[in-house]
Amino acid sequence: MKKLLVTGGAGFIGGNFVYYMLENYPDIQLVCLDALTYAGNLETLKGAFKNPNFKFVKGDITDRKLVFELFEEEDFDCIVNFAAESHVDRSIEAPEVFLKTNILGTQVLLDACNKFGTERFHQVSTDEVYGDLPLDRPDLMFTEETPIHTSSPYSASKASADLLALAYNRTFGTPVTISRCSNNYGPYQFPEKLIPLMIANATHGKPLPVYGEGLNVRDWLYVEDHCRAIALIIEKGKIGEVYNIGGHNEKANIEVVKTIISVLGKDESLITYVKDRPGHDRRYAIDPAKIHAELGWLPQTKFDDGIERTIKWYMDNTSWWENIFNGKYKSYTAEMFE
């Protein structure tokens, strides 16, 4: 693998993956294609721009002409597709762009792989394609065989993209792999998601909005563990296979919020129970036995360490997220492209 296209690299996981690859694969040439939607932030990639092996292209994965020209120019060995609309609450408010980017954008990339004979297309997917699990059955976990059963327009669009990728593999022989990961946390996560939003609000003494009773359970994985799993899959994973990635780190939302309050030395009176999300998935839990057995992957970061590191990162980098709240991160993008 010499030349890699990372789509959505100005976002949370894609940005962390860019740094992971540049650090661990010093010979790799890495091109990031990102449309810089509200979730894309060039400040995230500041450090990567200094690396001669890194190149950034602003563009939309649904733009077939742009994507095909880029493939022709760069002759990629491998594509890792992170580009997506990723926030469930936004998908409930306005589903259309989720279908466009997450499904049609994936199709454009798959078509480009077919046309240019790319050796690997890796689709970054989510455990949300499996729907949810009951709270009173801790014995149940998602395996790769669990039926697709989606709850939100976001998860339905991600499941559609997965099915399309598998269909391209079967019909056209497109060399596809898919990973389905549980909730990630770590540096550079956009502060609309639970953990960074709670850190930001708690820092400013603002209310911490907990949906419903805060009893929904997520299986948290430190983002670097996810990046390492994807690197392993593109190196050693079997074409046509799906790999679940998860950390055996199940926590109720209220527990996560209370941990953040405690690490920051704030008061639990900040917790404000608000109206629940419609269709709110109760519990996600990944069984990562396959990726462990086949590729030797195991999570390395325990939640207690990962959450402390994450909170420290947000405290050390307040301007990164303050610039999102005050809108300045968009003027940084504008300066780069004027």
Question: Are the beta carbons of 25 and 202 closer than 8 angstroms?
Answer: no
| Residue 136: other Cβ atoms inside 10 A | 8
Q: How far is the CB of 125 from ligand NAD (least distance, A)?
A: 6
Q: How far is the CB of 268 from ligand TYD (least distance, A)?
A: 15
Binding residues for ligand TYD (CB under 6 A): 88, 183, 193-194, 197, 209-211, 216, 218, 253, 277
Q: Is 178 helix (H, G, I), strand (E, B) or coil?
A: strand
What is the biggest distance separating any 2 CA atoms in the chain, rounded to whole angstroms?
57
- Which C-beta is closer to ligand NAD: that of 84 or that of 260? 84
CA distance 113 to 121: 7
Q: How far is the CB of 239 from ligand TYD (least distance, A)?
A: 28
Question: Are the beta carbons of 32 and 76 closer than 8 angstroms?
Answer: no
- From 127, 224, 225, 281, active-site residue: 127
- Which C-beta is closer to ligand TYD: that of 35 or that of 88? 88
CA distance 127 to 129: 5
Is 128 marked active-site? yes
Question: Are the beta carbons of 118 and 79 closer than 8 angstroms?
Answer: yes
Is 154 marked active-site? yes
What is the number of the residue whose Cβ is closest to ligand NAD?
Answer: 11
Quick one: what does residue 184 bind among ligand TYD, ligand NAD, none, with the CB cut-off 5 to 8 Å set by partner type? Answer: ligand NAD
Per-residue three-class SS string for 195-261: HHHHHHHHHCCCCEEEECCCCCEEECEEHHHHHHHHHHHHHHCCCCCEEEECCCCEEEHHHHHHHHH
Q: How far is the CB of 160 from ligand TYD (least distance, A)?
A: 17
Binding residues for ligand NAD (CB under 6 A): 7-8, 10-14, 34-37, 39-40, 60-62, 82-86, 101, 105, 124, 126, 158, 181, 183-184, 190
Structure tokens at 266: 């704030």
Q: How far is the CB of 284 from ligand TYD (least distance, A)?
A: 7
Quick one: what does residue 253 bind among ligand TYD, ligand NAD, none, with the CB cut-off 5 to 8 Å set by partner type? Answer: ligand TYD
Beta strands 217-219 and 176-181, pairing class: unpaired
Beta strands 221-222 and 120-126, pairing class: unpaired
- Which C-beta is closer to ligand TYD: that of 193 or that of 228? 193
- Which C-beta is closer to ligand NAD: that of 100 or that of 282? 100
Quick one: what does residue 88 bind among ligand TYD, ligand NAD, none, with the CB cut-off 5 to 8 Å set by partner type? Answer: ligand TYD
Quick one: what does residue 216 bind among ligand TYD, ligand NAD, none, with the CB cut-off 5 to 8 Å set by partner type? Answer: ligand TYD
- Which C-beta is closer to ligand TYD: that of 7 or that of 184? 184
Q: How far is the CB of 192 from ligand NAD (least distance, A)?
A: 9
Residues 282, 288, 290, 295, Cα dihedral to 10°? 150
- Which C-beta is closer to ligand TYD: that of 173 or that of 207? 207
Is 332 marked active-site? no
| Residue 172: other Cβ atoms inside 10 A | 13
- From 128, 132, 224, 250, active-site residue: 128
Just list the catalytic residues. 127-128, 154
